[in-house]
Amino acid sequence: MSNPRRIRTRGRMADPVLVVGSVAYDSIVTPHASGERILGGSASYACLAASYFAPPRIVGVVGHDFAAKDRKKLEKRGVDLSGLHTDGSGRTFFWRGRYHENYNRRDTEDLQLNVFEHFSPRLPEAHLDSPYVLLGNIRPDLQLNVLDQLAAPRFVLADTIDVWIETQREKLGEVMRRSDLLVINDTESAKLTGEANVITAGRRLREHGCRAVIIKKGEHGAVLFHQEGMFALPAYPVTEVRDPTGAGDSFAGAMLGYLASVGRHDFAALKQGMLYGTAVASLTVEAFSTDRLAAAGCTEIRNRRKELLRMTKA
């Protein structure tokens, strides 16, 4: 396995990060360009983002069509692939989508679950002691299954999507109560709480048992709700968006990777993690698939974090 360069945040060995989610092939059309059968999936983006801070462990499933070049892309960034199962009976999860002019809306034109339809996460024995865990937006009952397998995780970040809010709300509530941080977007927070106002929704989610919540607002940044207070951060100013797919997963992966690198998850650490997560997510949207994310480099990430700091200081 490669030994990639990582951002040095403190003089300690970074803890490993376990990421459970989808690995997919995407075909995407945007107002400016298109990409056919490019590497996607929540776990792919999150692992590559986390790899700039800590060693990632991926748990997912791919089909017989998963290309060697895509394995190498993950391996080059030091991703542990021992939990990536190959199901030779079918093809890899596939999604085709089209983004509209302002990128705020997209249409799903084709969705083929393929081998992902029967995905049931089984963690390798060496992963059971993972201290930092990212539960990608898989079904809540599967997220709970992962939590039941783990020994004693120190910090769990959970993600979800609209369909699970609508179909597995009770199990999602249990996931939320057993996690340390819920990361969702403003549309999802409104569905969960019935509150269109982000501030009200964030506070309501904490009242319902969430220890901490981050609500993402796309190009308007993100807001953290924590027992010690609230923290709002703008998005990094990207001049040319090419493909916004995976930006949220990159944000979550980079943030958790940062927490694993410093070994802390207090209010101050979460705010720093948001800075790094926002910087990394801004790189993701500048190219199709994971290309810009995988090749960005530590210097560019540090520079964007510094720029965000300058933007937020009066």
Residue 186 lies in a domain: yes
Residue 278 lies in a domain: yes
Give the pLDDT mean for 145-159: 97
Residue 7 lies in a domain: no
Residue 232 lies in a domain: yes
Per-residue confidence band for 212, with pLDDT thresholds at 50, 70 and 90: very high
Which residue, 127, 142, 122, 113, is CA-closest to 23? 113
Residue 10 lies in a domain: no
Predicted pLDDT at 1: 58
Per-residue confidence band for 314, with pLDDT thresholds at 50, 70 and 90: low
pTM of the model as a whole: 0.95
Residue 1 lies in a domain: no
Per-residue confidence band for 151, with pLDDT thresholds at 50, 70 and 90: very high
CATH number at residue 243: 3.40.1190.20
Report H helices in 137-266. 140-149, 162-167, 169-178, 186-193, 198-207, 247-262
Residue 300 lies in a domain: yes
Residue 9 lies in a domain: no
* Residue 98 belongs to domain spanning: 19-312
**What is the number of domains present in the chain?**
1
User: Is the per-residue pLDDT at 60 higher than 70?
Assistant: yes
